[in-house]
Structure 1
Amino acid sequence: MTAARRPKSVITPILALVVALIGTFVPAVISAIPGTGVVWPLVEFAVLVAAVFAAIHHADVVAHRTGEPYGTLVLTLAVTIIEVALIVSIMLAGDGSPMLARETVFAVVMVVCNGLVGICIILGGLRYGEQGFRLPGASAYLVVLMPLATLTLILPNYTTSVPGPFFNLTQLIYVSVATLVLYGVFLYVQTVRHRDYFLSDSGISTPDEHAQVPSDREVAQSVALLILALVGVVLLAKHFAGSVKIAVNFVGAPVGAIGLLVAMLVLLPESIAAIRSAKRNELQKSLNLALGSSLATIGLTIPAVCLVAIVLSQPLGLGLDNRDMVVLILTFGVSLVTFGGGRTNILPGVVHLVLFATYVFLIFAP
């Protein structure tokens, strides 16, 4: 049985859509059942997590058919849709969270550039000693990621039109367009102009020769189920937002913890794929998945969230505080060294993991 025909991958998107529709259109029926005030949010969360995995699975089936680097883009776009749905839903829940987009984007950069990259490098280094990757590809990611992060997460603190970590309307529009332009040019380079920068070297990677290429029927089925799963996730995100707000207020966790939770949830399936690639000595594919997620988060999520904030007249704080700016700049400095030689070992992996641990520690002990 191929991956596209696994029963769970077929049932989960349909189940997610059904649960989302029940919670959206007949909430009174659910609330009338004794005990559902606690049980139903847990059911929705479990189905949401399963739907995220199902969406990434079906995106992976389509990606396997399209091949690299287009396959990585399919996965990245699916993750971005899920992330925007969660961010916007939590932003608009209750009294609103104007800083949530900032915290989530920053969390994605930290999870990817430090946590995920560190784990992949360490696992690959322990198994193979050293791993190689294409230096032009890694450089292309960083040369776009660093200005994107600076424009969206640091520059708002130094503009004078609006006090605080905010852009005014004109600045929001400009930054949204600028990020889309940079990301669009990067996609052109990745998929058309210099595709070879992002392909694994035959002498370095070890592709899965036994993986069966999905048939046209399987791909069509996965496309349909992917759409169902994404619709289910978008609808469930609204209910998830309310539950998260209640839980966070109950335990007194900072907003940064919500951003970390959202980032880890949407990145979990893609992170598993990146780790598996590193263990197969395919570090280039791991970097494509990991660094591509960071680029898509800023290049696509920020403009989408800015558009929602403008349309709904919601405040949107993007600028990081001084502490987080130091961690972000240090991350980019270490990344330049890590990806500056074309080969890695466990040492830079441990450094990145320590930076990630520092980020998490500072959320709860600022």
Structure 2
Amino acid sequence: MNAANRTSPLTDWTVVVPVVALVALVFSWGRELPGFAVALVALCLAGAVLAAVHHAEVVALRVGEPFGSLVLAVAVTIIEVALIVTLMADAKGGSSSLARDTVFAAVMITCNGIVGLSLLVGALRNRVAVFNAEGSGAALATVATLATLSLVLPTFTTTKPGPEFTSAQLAFAAVASLALYGLFVAVQTVRHRDYFLPVDTGSAAQSKDSHVEPPSAGAALLSLGLLLVALVAVVGDAKAVSPTIETAVANAGLPNAVVGVIIALLVLLPETLAAVRAARRDRVQTSINLAYGSAIASIGLTVPAIALASVWLSGPLLLGLGPTHMVLLALTVVVGALTVVPGRATLLQGGVHLVILAAYLFLAVSP
């Protein structure tokens, strides 16, 4: 059933799951959990993530596009930022690079995974996936700028040794990230909103989707409240299972960067599903809004949050990427530009982006 037609009764899973996840948070907080308890909390966490995205979609249907994509992107990014800060607060080995690893993983997953899957689904449905080149190009340019300022420059600055910013440099990166994020949101939602609306192809799927009635104001407000409950539950439950994730990665002999990849995959999976559903409805522009919007929010909100958290977090804050990741980032930007400029894409473009993601995941496990 479409989210717009749901009334969210008290017995609905989207209402029950966030509450159960919150209860799991209360009983697990600050305790060392046995294996079965970790599995239950992880199950609650996954359910809360799905419920959070569902309620974000209900709110999105009420406010319309591109505000809908913005709601989803911000909701997912809040989860990501909170997870990063809570995990770094543990001050365990490898936490100094957790923010960099998670943000870069989010950029690669969104710009290659979500974009690639969306183009693949859209092209399979209509032979050619059509989207708005102006909005997509502007979003990609913002992602490239934010990623370079926050993840590439720290490797080359000389005032402080290592891939770190000084306090002044970190403050500048945080302010610049917030400014660019705010400017992008203003352009996306106000000044050039039409650049980010789905291209009208006249397909039956688009026609059916456009006739769906938005939820009532009361239903949207209820979903907004449940969205906040779900986000709190996700952050707390992730905090509870984080020691198990780190231990499993260490026992498997994998690099610490894999923890960041797992976090990014966890919080972006529901958004990936939402983007694929939009592509199946012949709304590829909505999928691209979700992908690039999440990448922009991930950097634009995470870097300022980490900069603020660094006041009380001990240890170094490593933000600069290594040579391998910089090559993958450059490849992503170049291929992304070649993809979005024409405003049309085929199966080939989708496959190329997915191969880049596969290369990133493989090299994360086997650097």
TM-score if structure 2 supplies the norm length? 0.94
**Aligned partners of 2:85 and 2:306 also within 8 Å:** yes
* Correspondence for 1:244: 245
* Correspondence for 2:64: 67
Taking the aligned partners of 1:42 and 1:102, their CA distance within structure 2 comes to: 27
**1:4–1:320 CA distance, 2 compared to 1 (3 A):** farther
Residue-by-residue CA offset, 1:115-163 (whole Å, 9 max, x unaligned): 1211111121122111211111011101211110001110001111111
DSSP-derived class of the 1:99 partner = helix
* Correspondence for 1:19: 24
DSSP-derived class of the 2:198 partner = coil
DSSP-derived class of the 2:254 partner = coil
Taking the aligned partners of 1:74 and 1:48, their CA distance within structure 2 comes to: 20
TM-fit CA distance, 1:4:
4.6
TM-fit CA distance, 1:311:
3.0
Matched residues, number = 358
Q: How does 1:334-349 map to 2 (within 5 A)?
A: 334-349=335-350
Taking the aligned partners of 2:229 and 2:140, their CA distance within structure 1 comes to: 34
**Aligned partners of 1:52 and 1:233 also within 8 Å:** yes
TM-fit CA distance, 1:87:
1.2
Equivalent residue letter for 1:296: A
**Aligned partners of 1:69 and 1:195 also within 8 Å:** yes
* Correspondence for 1:47: 44
Residue-by-residue CA offset, 1:140-191 (whole Å, 9 max, x unaligned): 1012111100011100011111111100111111100001001111111011
TM-fit CA distance, 1:234:
1.9
TM-fit CA distance, 1:297:
0.3
TM-score if structure 1 supplies the norm length? 0.94
Taking the aligned partners of 2:6 and 2:267, their CA distance within structure 1 comes to: 21
Residue-by-residue CA offset, 1:272-302 (whole Å, 9 max, x unaligned): 0101111121110110111111010011112
Q: How does 1:308-323 map to 2 (within 5 A)?
A: 308-323=309-324
Equivalent residue letter for 2:145: P
How large is the Cα RMSD of the aligned pairs? Answer: 1.6
Taking the aligned partners of 1:126 and 1:53, their CA distance within structure 2 comes to: 26
Residue-by-residue CA offset, 1:190-232 (whole Å, 9 max, x unaligned): 1111100001122367151453311122112111111111111
Equivalent residue letter for 2:338: V
Taking the aligned partners of 2:241 and 2:43, their CA distance within structure 1 comes to: 10
Taking the aligned partners of 1:349 and 1:203, their CA distance within structure 2 comes to: 20
Q: How does 1:279-290 map to 2 (within 5 A)?
A: 279-290=280-291
**1:177–1:4 CA distance, 2 compared to 1 (3 A):** farther
Q: How does 1:31-180 map to 2 (within 5 A)?
A: 37-93=34-90, 95-96=92-93, 97-180=95-178
TM-fit CA distance, 1:312:
2.4
Taking the aligned partners of 2:202 and 2:194, their CA distance within structure 1 comes to: 14
**Aligned partners of 1:58 and 1:225 also within 8 Å:** yes
**Aligned partners of 1:90 and 1:245 also within 8 Å:** no
Identity across the alignment (%)? 47
